[in-house]
Amino acid sequence: MSQHPSERYCPRFGQLAVRLGHVTPEQLKQALSEQVDDNLAGRPHRILGTIFFEHGWMSPGQIEEVLNLMFDQIKEESGP
């Protein structure tokens, strides 16, 4: 049984933050919309962790937790 391609890759920051319960799907959608608005207006690109923090939706510790999980998954997938 082969894995679906998306299962082989590390979840993106926003998806993992939602899965951990740090933000809601609606908050993720708003943050993604803000990224697009910034890009279209020529403003500097903000990463999701920054947007979540600026809104008070995630603490620095929660952001670090998500990033650590992402890096751990990348290390597991790349092997020894």
Tell me, what's the pLDDT at 50?
95
The secondary structure of residue 74, as a DSSP letter, is H
Helix then strand then coil, % of the chain, to nearest 5: 65, 0, 35
Q: What pLDDT digit, counting tens, does each position of 2-34 carry?
A: 333 434 445 699 999 999 999 999 999 999 999
Q: What percent of the chain has pLDDT over 70?
A: 85
pTM score of the predicted model:
0.80
Across the chain, what does the average pLDDT equal? 87
Instruction: List Cα–Cα distances, 2 to 8, 45, 76, 77, 79, in angstroms.
Output: 10, 36, 18, 15, 19
